[in-house]
Chain A
C-alpha cells in the first residue's frame, strides 16, 4: 500500500562516455538513449523528495509504526480472546509492515533543512522497530511474564510517536516549527 514518493527528483547523469554515438543518432533515438541512460544512472541514486513530500513520507512512516504499536498493544491486552497462532501472526505482520515502511523512509535523501529531523524520525522508527521485535520474541516464546512490561513500553512508544507526528506536521519549509 505504501509507495515511494512520486515526486522524487533524480540525480543528474555525469560522465556519459558514449556521447559520440548519441551525436550520430537521429533526434528520437538520442532522446530514447538519453532517457535510458538517465534511468540507468538514476537507479543507483537515492530518492530525493522535496520538503513537502519528505514531511508527508515522515508522517506516513511514523503513522505505520504507530499503527503497528497500537495493534500490538490491543492484541496483547486482549490476548485471552485470540488463539495463540493468531496472536503470533498479528505481531509478526505488524513488525513486518512497520519495518518495511521504516526501511523505505530511511533510504530517502532528506532535504537540506531536515537533516536533523531525519535523525530524530529514523531514531524513533528504530526504537519502535526494536520494541515490535521484543514483542514478537516474547509472543513466539510464550513468555507471558514479559507482557505487562511490554505493554507499558508500547503505551510509552505510542505517545512518543504521536507527539513526533504532530511535530513533523507543524514543520515549515525551512525545517523550523511552522
Chain B
C-alpha cells in the first residue's frame, strides 16, 4: 500500500511538475496561431523526454551518481565543460523566465506590477531552496501544479467541435497566411519547451537526493512513462483552449493573462482561481527546479559536495551558486526585460542546447562500467539515437529560424 501511494504521488507530481512557464506560454501561443497543427511536436517531445529521463533516472539509481558527476569523468573535462556551459546558459535563462513567470502569476492575482513583485519572489525562491526539504519542494509544488488540469476540464466546457479539433491536429501545415518558416520555428520552440535540459538534471540529481537504488527503477519508470505523457496531454489541452478562444478572433497570445482567459470563459471565477493556483505552483516549482539545477550542474562538474540531503554548511559552495544564480536572475529582471520574451527565447535556446545535454547521457547509459547489467537495451538505444538525430536537427535549425522569422513574428 505504501509503495502504491509512493507511485501515485510520483506520477501526480510528474504531471503537475511537467508544465512550466515555457510550456504555458508556448502552447497557448501556438494554439492561438496554429491550432493543433503542431500537437505532434509535443507528442514527439514527450516521447523524447521520457526516453532520456528514464536513462538519467536509471543512471542515478544504478550508479548512485547524477548526470554531470559522470559526464566529466566519462567524457573528460573539456567535453564536460562544453556541456556545462551550454546547458548552464539555457538553465539560467529558464531560471530568469520562471522567476518572471511567478511574478506575472502573482500580478494576475494581486494587480501589483510584476516589477515590484519579482524581488520578493526571488528572495522567496532562494529561502525555500536554502531551507526547505527536497521532497517538500518536489511534492508540494507538483501536487498544487495539478490545478492546471483545469485546462482539460475547460476544454470540455468550451464545447469544441471534436472533429474540427481532430482535423486541426492532423493538418501538418501552417494555418491562414502564416509561413512555413514561422510554423517550423514554433515547432522547434514547442520541442525545446517539452525537452528542456534542466528537467533531466533535476530528475537525475533528485534521484540521488532521494537515495534511489536499483530496486527503485520500476517506480521511477512508472513515474516517467505515466506522469510525463499525462503532463504532455495537459500541454495539448492548453493549446486547444487557446485555439478555441483566440483563433476565431485572429488574436495571438502574448501574455500570461491571456493564457488563463479561456478558463474564466469556460468555468468562471472558481476555475480561474484554480488555474491561478496552478500557474503559481507550476512556475514556482520550476523556478526551484531550475535554481537547484544550476547548483547541481556546477557543483557536480567541479566535484563539490552538493544536494539538499546534506546540511547547508556542508554544501556551502552548492548553496552559494544557487544564491548567485538567484541574484543574477533578479538582476536580469531588473532591466525590465519582458519575462514572456525571455521565456520564448529560453525555449528556443533550450532546443539549441539539447544535443549537449542528451548525448552524454546516452554515452554513460551505454557504459557497462557504470551501469552493469542495467546498460541500455537495443530498443532504448535505437530510440535514444533517433532522438539524438531529431534534437540535433532542431538545434541546427533553431537559430536560423529565429533570425529568419524575427522570433516567430
Residues of chain A touching chain B, judged by Cβ–Cβ distance below 8 Å, are 1-6, 56-57, 60, 63-64, 66-67, 70-71, 74-75, 78, 81-86, 88-90, 93-94, 97, 162, 169
Contacts and interface: CB of A to CB of B under 8 A. Distances in A.
Given A3-B409, A6-B406, A67-B251, A74 B269 contact: no
Interface in B98-140: 107-111
B381 interface: no
B265 A78 contact: yes
Interface string B239-279: 00000011001111011011011001100110011001000
Nearest to A158: B249
A26 B272 CA distance: 65
A90 B261 contact: yes
B257 A60 contact: no
Interface residues of B, number: 35
A143 B17 CA distance: 40
B344 A74 contact: no
B161 interface: no
A176 B276 CA distance: 49
Interface in B209-263: 245-246, 249-252, 254-255, 257-258, 260-261
A94 B257 CA distance: 9
Nearest to A98: B254
Shortest beta-carbon contacts, A-B, top 4 = A85-B111, A90-B257, A67-B251, A70-B251
A56 B261 CA distance: 28
B257 A3 contact: no
Given A82-B264, A85-B110, A86-B264, 16 more contacts: A1-B254, A1-B341, A3-B406, A63-B250, A66-B250, A66-B251, A67-B254, A81-B264, A81-B269, A82-B261, A82-B272, A83-B269, A83-B273, A93-B257, A97-B254, A169-B177
A4 B257 contact: no
Contacts of A3: 406-407, 409
24 contacts: A1-B29, A1-B254, A1-B340, A1-B344, A1-B408, A1-B409, A2-B409, A3-B409, A4-B406, A57-B409, A63-B250, A64-B252, A67-B252, A70-B246, A71-B258, A74-B265, A78-B265, A81-B264, A81-B272, A86-B260, A89-B108, A89-B257, A93-B254, A162-B250
Nearest to B255: A93
B249 A85 contact: no
B403 interface: yes
A89 B109 CA distance: 9
Contacts of B341: 1
Contacts of B257: 86, 89-90, 93
A66 to B, nearest CB: 7
Given A70-B251, A90-B258, A78 B264 contact: yes
A64 B268 CA distance: 26
B156 interface: no
Contacts of B29: 1
Nearest to B407: A3
B249 A1 contact: no
In this complex, the member of A2, A56, A84 whose beta carbon has the largest number of chain B beta carbons within 10 angstroms is A2
A11 B264 CA distance: 49
B401 to A, nearest CB: 12
Contacts of A162: 250
Contacts of A4: 406
B295 to A, nearest CB: 30
A5 B406 CA distance: 7
A81 B409 contact: no
A60 B409 contact: yes
Nearest to A88: B111
A85 B108 contact: yes
B302 interface: no
A86 B259 CA distance: 12
B180 interface: no
Contacts of A89: 107-108, 111, 257
A1 B254 CA distance: 8
In this complex, the member of A57, A84, A97 whose beta carbon has the largest number of chain B beta carbons within 10 angstroms is A97
Contacts of B111: 84-86, 88-89
Contacts of A169: 177
B409 A71 contact: no
Contacts of A83: 109, 269, 272-273
B117 to A, nearest CB: 11
